[in-house]
Structures are given as structure tokens and as C-alpha cells.
């Protein structure tokens, strides 16, 4: 479980990096901004895939090392045994990363039922009408809290959800609330899934590494033999 949690922490770190970069770039509805955001997401998903593959290959190498120790009769550390390749570790990581996002998306839908036909991003005069009042109303003005612009727990949760899924903020301009709030569930998947697939590919990467090592060893031996000087026969007396 500890190894899966560390693995999940790496994925969260990559997701945070994507969120910061997308936040710095800012949401944009133009073609250049969309292409830049997509390229960024694909690039970081590629990093997740490579990182997962590295972890999977490293775990398979540890498997082979421990198997060799076992055949030689040497003791095996329980801590090392926990870090060997196991597909369940990848699945546990996948659940650890996705479930918190799904819980947030579910809570957002419960407290903010999406309104059909309403755009996810409100602009223009309608956006100005939804701004919260500058002063918190008190007394008889408390009824103003029920206005669409009031700061409520539901609005806070909705804001948190939009910030959490900020790597995909370029899609907010083209979706309705119904589409966006349900797509939050899908937005949680790409990063951990890429890491999971990379880890599960660990055995193939390990086999490829062994084959490459053998090929390199053969090339080295051929080079040594080709560069070896032929033995000169001694003159017969």
C-alpha cells in the first residue's frame, strides 16, 4: 500500500504541474490557446506514461534480482519484496488518484444540479449580473443571500471543482453546465491511466532491456574479435 501511495503521489504531482501551467497560461477560447493546452496535456500524460514504465521496469528488475537471491539461498528483505512488480499496485494507484476527483465531481453535481442550456462560462452582461454584492447583507437584507450572485457553500464547491480541473479549462468555453459537470468524471482519468498503463508495460520494457543488453554484449565481443591481431607464426629453425 505504501508503494502505491508513493506512486499516486507522483501522479498528483504531475497533475498539479499541469494545473499550475494551465493556470499561468489562462483559459482561452482561441485556436492557438486550445492547441497549446492540448499539447501540454499530451506532453504531461506522456511523462506519466514514461514514469510508470520506468517504475514497472525497475520493479521487474528487482523481481529478477530477488529470484536470483532466492536460488542462491540468501535471505530476502520483506521491504524489498513489497517493491516487486505487481499489477495490483498499479490498480491501487489508479483508484487512489481517481476516487478523490470523482467524489468532488459527485458532490459538485449534488449541490449544484447542472441547468440544461446554461453555458459553463458566463460572459458579458449576464456575468456582471451574477457578481456577488460588495458588502455582506445583514438584517432585513439577508434575503439577498438567495440571489444567484451570493457566495454560498454550493458556489464555493463549484469554484473548487473548476479550479481542481483547471488543466482542462480551455473546454469550459464550449460546454454547457450539464456537459462540463459530467465531464469532470472523465477529466480525472487521463493522468493516472497513463501511469497505470506504463507500469503494466513494465515486463515488456524489462525484456526489451535484457535483449538490448545481450545485443550490445554481442556487438562488443564481435568488435573485440575483429580488432584482435592475428597471431604470428614463429620462424622454423
Q: Which string of DSSP letters, residue by residue, matches 66-96?
A: HHHHHHTT----HHHHHTS--HHHHHHHHHH
Residue 134 has which C-alpha cell?
Answer: 460588495
Cβ partners under 8 Å of residue 177, min gap 6: 112, 114, 115, 116, 118, 119, 120
Q: What is the pLDDT of residue 119?
A: 85
Q: In the chain, where are the structural domains located?
A: 2-213
DSSP helix/strand/coil, 193: helix
pLDDT tens digits for 181-224? 999 999 999 999 999 999 999 999 989 888 888 877 777 777 77
Higher pLDDT, 79 or 113: 113
Question: What residues pair up with 119 in beta bridges, in sequence order?
Answer: 176
What 24-32 contacts at long range (C-beta under 8 Å, 24+ apart), as own/partner pairs, is 27/121, 27/169, 27/170, 27/172, 27/173, 28/170, 29/170, 29/173, 29/174
> What are the tens digits of pLDDT across the range 84-138?
889 999 999 999 999 999 999 999 999 989 888 788 876 544 444 444 444 444 4
d(CA 169, CA 55): 30
In a 13 Å sphere around the CA of 209, the CA atoms on its Cβ side amount to 14
Q: What is the separation of C-alpha 206 from the centre of its chain, rounded to a whole number of angstroms?
A: 22
Amino acid at each position: 500500500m505504501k508503494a502505491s501511495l508513493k506512486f499516486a503521489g507522483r501522479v498528483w504531482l504531475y497533475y498539479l504541474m499541469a494545473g499550475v501551467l494551465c493556470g499561468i497560461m489562462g483559459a482561452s477560447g482561441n485556436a492557438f490557446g486550445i492547441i497549446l493546452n492540448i499539447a501540454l496535456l499530451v506532453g504531461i500524460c506522456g511523462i506519466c506514461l514514461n514514469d510508470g514504465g520506468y517504475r514497472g521496469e525497475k520493479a521487474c528488475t528487482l523481481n529478477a534480482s530477488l529470484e536470483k537471491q532466492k536460488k542462491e539461498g540468501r535471505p530476502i528483505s520483506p521491504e524489498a519484496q513489497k517493491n516487486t512488480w505487481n499489477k495490483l499496485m498499479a490498480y491501487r494507484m489508479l483508484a487512489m488518484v481517481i476516487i478523490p476527483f470523482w467524489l468532488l465531481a459527485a458532490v459538485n453535481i449534488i449541490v449544484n444540479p447542472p441547468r440544461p442550456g446554461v453555458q459553463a462560462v458566463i460572459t458579458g452582461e449576464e456575468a456582471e449580473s451574477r457578481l456577488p454584492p460588495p458588502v455582506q447583507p445583514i438584517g432585513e437584507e439577508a434575503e439577498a443571500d438567495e440571489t444567484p450572485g451570493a457566495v454560498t457553500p454550493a458556489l464555493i464547491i463549484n469554484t473548487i471543482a473548476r479550479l481542481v480541473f483547471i488543466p482542462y479549462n480551455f473546454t469550459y468555453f464550449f460546454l454547457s453546465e450539464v456537459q462540463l459537470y459530467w465531464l469532470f468524471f472523465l477529466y480525472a482519468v487521463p493522468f493516472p491511466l497513463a501511469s497505470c498503463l506504463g507500469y503494466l508495460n513494465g515486463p515488456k520494457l524489462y525484456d526489451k532491456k535484457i535483449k538490448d543488453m545481450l545485443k550490445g554484449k554481442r556487438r562488443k565481443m564481435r568488435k573485440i574479435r575483429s580488432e584482435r591481431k592475428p597471431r604470428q607464426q614463429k620462424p622454423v629453425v
